[in-house]
Homo-oligomer: A and B are copies of this chain.
Amino acid sequence: MTQSPWQPISPSKPVRPAKEPLNRERIVDTALRVMVDQGYEAVSMRKIAQELHTGPASLYAHVANKKELDQLLVDRAAQAMNLPSPPDPERWQEQLKEAMREMLRAMRTMPGVARAAIGAVPLGEAALRTTECLLGILKAGGLPDQAVAWAVDLIPLYVTAVAFEENVQRADEWSPEDIERFLDGLRSYFASLPADRFPLTMALAGPLTAGAAGDDRFEFGIAVITAGLASLAELH
């Protein structure tokens, strides 16, 4: 601001940048940024408030509590999901697998969101959209209505549990090298067990520790679930 030479010099005042008003979207945006940058455990009302240059109490005019903030994060993840559509009866099983891959992909772009999601009933508008897509795919597969309805509970439960597990390991800051070292230790541990106590565990130490760093385990899981649903579809 240009100071008029005709105005008395006012007492010096620190120039405070005009502060953008708080709103729910900015709070959720900031929470998401903190979660991605520093992990789910770093997301606190104080940390979000600090990033927004305000006090923690200010947030409560826009969100009821921390749990509601969690739910808003979950809906952000759901917004990032683009499930296959329209449903195709000819390739519903492949669409189902693609849907699960897409759900995990979206959760991986917001590591830690599975911690907020697990155990919650997803009711956000975006979450309902994913539910609607899943229902379409499962209906296209010819499953009975009750099976369809319960499958849309099972599928996100599994995918969220996988994302949760991945995030716990990431939170412990396991690099691929750490994971490999952990698995080496696990192999040694298994090798040291009394052979007569855990014969199968010892015999399968290799396969038990395989595929931790890749997507093979997840692909196996989605194949099992899809095959299971397909076999139930065949019964009707």
Contact = CB atoms under 8 A, between A and B. Distances in A.
Interface string A214-236: 00110011011111111110000
Interface in A182-236: 186, 189, 193, 197-201, 204, 207-208, 210-211, 216-217, 220-221, 223-232
A147 interface: yes
Interface in A168-187: 168-169, 186
Nearest to A152: B208
Interface stretch (A25-33, A55-63, A97-105, A154-162): A154-162
Given A223-B232, A228-B227, A131 B211 contact: no
A68 interface: no
A210 B136 CA distance: 19
A37 interface: no
A51 interface: no
Interface string A108-140: 000000000011100100001101100110010
Contacts of A220: 146-147, 150-151, 154
A34 interface: no
Max chain B Cβ within 10 angstroms of own Cβ: one of A120, A164, A217, A224: A224
A149 B227 contact: no
A165 interface: yes
Given A217-B150, A228-B228, A231-B227, A204 B135 contact: yes
A216 B151 CA distance: 12
A153 interface: yes
Contact of A165 (B119, B165, B229): B119
A198 B232 contact: no
A124 to B, nearest CB: 12
Contact of A225 (B146, B216, B224): B224
A167 B232 CA distance: 29
Interface string A19-54: 000000000000000000000000000000000000
Given A148-B204, A150-B221, A227-B231, 19 more contacts: A118-B118, A119-B169, A120-B168, A123-B186, A123-B189, A128-B193, A128-B198, A131-B198, A132-B198, A132-B200, A132-B201, A149-B204, A150-B216, A152-B208, A154-B158, A154-B224, A157-B158, A160-B161, A223-B232
